[in-house]
Chain A
Amino acid sequence: METGTSRVKRGMAEMQKGGVIMDVMNAEQAKVAEAAGATAVMALERVPSDIRAAGGVARMADPTIVEEVMKVVSIPVMAKARIGHYVEAKVLESLGVDYLDESEVLTPADEVFHIDKHDFTVPFVCGAKDLGEALRRIGEGASMIRTKGEPGTGNIVEAVRHMRHINSQIRKVQNMSKDELYAEAKNLGVAYDLLIGVHENGKLPVVNFAAGGVATPADAALMMHLGADGVFVGSGIFKSDSPEKFARAIVEATTHYNDYKLIAEVSKNLGAPMKGIEISKLTPGERMQDRGW
């Protein structure tokens, strides 16, 4: 009997496919998310849009919040650690969290190194905006990738850019000859073995979810249409006018992402989505997607 194998960790992410993972800040929101059909919840002290508003250093959530959420739902519970913050990740693992997000939404703790994720029994998800980042994170042991997007903006444009970019890079690698792959591994800054896998299979070796800017059912469906395996919704649900309705509608739109009549139906009378931010209004320091290396 073996725990924490790559098959067990990656398999856990496979089971989330076609699903919606929702950010929650307390037990009550976690119950709303579960009842709406979320496949997992991300337990946080503040959702990304609040982190933006508050400024300062954003850290791992208070363990009380994480434990409270774990107590009330039977679906998996995820939590975020700062980039490179080994101890925050170990603390969350010790609480029994089911999945760790080494996340650019929090203030990075290390400007050079990410966490060695092979050193954990619990699997990790990491953000990526291109194939190089995705494969570096997988090399470090990530079992799931998500686009970075631009968290807490309610603006889907960056997640679209990242998903399209990664998929177009994958297609390019797929069509390269074997001798071109050595130089491409150097260009991307990734291990040759991982790149060969992408060349042969035409996809990442782990699932790739969309995250960072999903605010409406149609946003979620668009990301599925672009090839996402599933969707993370951060501020989009509990910063909208009617979280329960938004949560249910986003779940349905993700399952039936190419049934436009159904998406029209679930989009009726939802009330206002979260207020969005135009990306060009962000200062370089406010761009979360540029964190991570």
Chain B
Amino acid sequence: MKIGVLALQGAVAEHIRSLQLAGAEAVTVKRVEQLEEIDGIVIPGGESTTIGKLMRQYGFIEALQQFSAQGKPLFGTCAGLIVLAERIAGHDQAHLSLMNMTVSRNAFGRQRESFETDLDVKGIDEPIRAVFIRAPLIQDVGEGVEVLSVYHDEIVTARQGHLLACSFHPELTDDYRLHQYFVDMVAQSLATAQ
């Protein structure tokens, strides 16, 4: 099993490390041709405007929509969550438009309001340490989307079939259980494909 991390901008190395800890082979992805070699992809945290712009420029929008149409899993963290959403509050244009949800950018405030906290996530036994940095949140979810965690009544983790998204940065701690959860999703999709 090989999982890619979209490496146009953002915290790429941390995701590679977490995926490796979860037992997957992990590679950086900078060109659309590389999507053929991988079974799942992480869209990392970074600046969503930068990542979205570069994705458009290098043909990643259509390529990742096709990747998803094949049932291959995608996992977006923070900026990656914004990239996956169908609707971005206050913006006309979404990026990949894959997950049936509305996200709100910088929803918790500026950097001085950024925080870390213990968070319960459905499907993971003990709470995980979640680091929120100028984080977005999920305002509402539509049909087919399952809410996996909530912080102060706001949705911060969600799954829609083979798509997973969270507002925080699981890659910034040594706890790789959410990556394990994603690796399991990829394993499942491979088993189904066979």
Tell me which residues from 84 to 116 in chain B have a Cβ below 8 Å from any Cβ of chain A. 105-106, 110-116
The number of inter-chain residue pairs (CB within 8 angstroms) is 108
Contact B10 A17 (CB under 8 A): yes
Contact A3 B47 (CB under 8 A): no
Contact B9 A4 (CB under 8 A): no
Over the window 123-152 of chain B, the binary record of Cβ atoms lying under 8 Å from chain A Cβ atoms (1 yes, 0 no) is 000000001111000000000000000000
Contact A3 B49 (CB under 8 A): no
Which residues from chain B contact A3 at a C-beta distance below 8 Å?
Answer: 112-115
Contact B172 A14 (CB under 8 A): yes
Which residues from chain B contact A11 at a C-beta distance below 8 Å?
Answer: 11, 114, 131, 133, 169, 172
Which residues from chain A contact B12 at a C-beta distance below 8 Å?
Answer: 17-18
Contact A121 B54 (CB under 8 A): no
Given contacts A255-B9, A255-B30, contact A18 B116 (CB under 8 A): no
Chain A residues bordering chain B, tally (CB within 8 A): 34
A96 in contact (CB, < 8 A): yes
Contact B112 A93 (CB under 8 A): yes
Kindly state the separation between the CA atoms of A98 and B134 in the bound complex, as whole angstroms. Answer: 9
Given contacts A3-B114, A5-B116, A122-B112, contact A14 B49 (CB under 8 A): no
Give the size category of B's interface with A.
35 or more
CB closest residue in chain A, given B53: A37
A85 in contact (CB, < 8 A): no
Of the residues A7, A38, A39, A74, contact of B173 by C-beta under 8 Å: A7
Over the window 77-98 of chain A, the binary record of Cβ atoms lying under 8 Å from chain B Cβ atoms (1 yes, 0 no) is 0000000000000000100101
A251 in contact (CB, < 8 A): yes
Given contacts A7-B172, A255-B8, contact A15 B46 (CB under 8 A): yes
Which residues from chain B contact A252 at a C-beta distance below 8 Å?
Answer: 54, 57
B120 in contact (CB, < 8 A): no
Tell me which residues from 140 to 181 in chain B have a Cβ below 8 Å from any Cβ of chain A. 169, 172-173
Question: What's the least CB distance linking A247 to chain B, in Å?
Answer: 11
Contact B46 A19 (CB under 8 A): yes
Of the residues B46, B112, B116, contact of A39 by C-beta under 8 Å: B46
Of the residues B10, B110, B111, B172, contact of A18 by C-beta under 8 Å: B10
Which residues from chain A contact B54 at a C-beta distance below 8 Å?
Answer: 37, 251-252, 255
Interface set of B (CB-CB < 8 Å, partner A): 7-14, 30, 45-47, 49-50, 53-54, 57, 78-79, 105-106, 110-117, 131-134, 169, 172-173
Interface set of A (CB-CB < 8 Å, partner B): 1-5, 7-8, 11-12, 14-19, 34, 37-40, 74-76, 93, 96, 98-99, 121-123, 251-252, 255-256
21 A–B contacts from the bound complex (CB under 8 Å):
A1-B117, A2-B116, A7-B131, A7-B173, A8-B131, A8-B133, A11-B114, A11-B172, A15-B78, A16-B47, A37-B50, A39-B46, A75-B47, A75-B50, A76-B47, A98-B111, A99-B111, A121-B112, A122-B111, A252-B54, A255-B54
